[in-house]
Amino acid sequence: MIHLIFSEQDVMAKEAASKLIKKDFPEKTEFNFVSFDMLVTPLSEAARECEMLSLSFDRKCIVLENCQFLKSKTKWKPSKDDRPEDLLEYLRHPNPDVDLYFLLYDEAVDTKNLFYKAIVEAGGKVDEVKTLTPDGWLKYIPSYFAKRGVNIDFQATRELSLRVDGDYGRFKNEAEKLIAYSSGEDITIATIEEMVAPYVEDDIFKMSNALTRGDNHQALKIYRDLKSRNSIEEITLIGLLAKQFVFLDQVRFLDAKGYDSRMIGQELGCKPIRAEIAIKSLFRITEQRLSRIMEQLYATDKSILSGRVDGEYAFTLFLTNFRLA
């Protein structure tokens, strides 16, 4: 049996695969279960493992994670050790005693590439695990807690959905923490505010927008509010802020190619409104200035890591002295 499972959230794809595997392989051992990370494993090695029979079991399960060669919008190039023809040949004549799972962590699969066609022609099953919509989260969260004997009220449900911001992996971690903390008691908005940190990247997005508007005071306010709610290190904030300015540079490049906000959102995997805000920010900041900002962030990061400057002082200084020109 061959199975391709894809989802833009890796935890959701892994969960879906685990449920299927558990039915046929309730007892996994090194003799009947093998998992490969295809970012580092040559395709030829995976194909060779598929051909090998288990000496102790009638059937064997093989999981291939991070199957980038199936990803849409990416021109995948095999390394010299990959030998894609070996895996394609296996798919033409698959071992009937092997259950082979391809896991792709992306929102779409390339239905035109040779591997996808070979999987389908071999009778493989293709499943997409879709992410939850905002309304879907409001239904899923109470159900998840109810199955574990815990009640969560509507206000708490809504706030938790906002704080995990669609990240299923983060939701699972936060939910288990909340269940343990509640000890069977109802979960309220007060519980969420005490136990679950707000979505930090959203604050960083607002901080970068304030900076590109020239509003240093607002950027400092966001930083202080963030620090009061979270025990987050300045090194982490610098990394997140750098990602926002890299995002701005990517938007600048696509905007110059004539992409609109919807197309940019699709290309970069973000909401169109964020792309639109970024485009407006680019009217106030040049490509050269973006480059200098990245250099300043690197210098701030280095000064903190070297121990020369206190993290809070260094980051405050960066925000205070930030200039668009």
Pick from 112, 87, 85: nearest CA to 100 = 87
Q: Please, are residues 30 and 21 in contact by the beta-carbon 8 Å criterion? A: no
Q: What is the pLDDT of residue 152?
A: 95
pLDDT, mean over the chain: 87
pLDDT over threshold 80, residue 133: yes
pLDDT over threshold 90, residue 139: yes
pLDDT in tens, 88-101: 999 999 999 999 99
Pick from 82, 69, 83, 55: nearest CA to 4 = 69
Q: What is the pLDDT of residue 231?
A: 64
**Could you tell me which residues come within 8 angstroms of residue 164 by beta carbon, excluding any fewer than 6 positions away?**
170, 171, 174, 196, 199
pTM greater than 0.85 = no
- Between CA 233 and CA 245 the distance in angstroms is 19
Q: How confident is the model at residue 282 (pLDDT cuts 50, 70, 90)?
A: confident
Q: What is the pLDDT of residue 284?
A: 81
Q: What is the pLDDT of residue 230?
A: 64
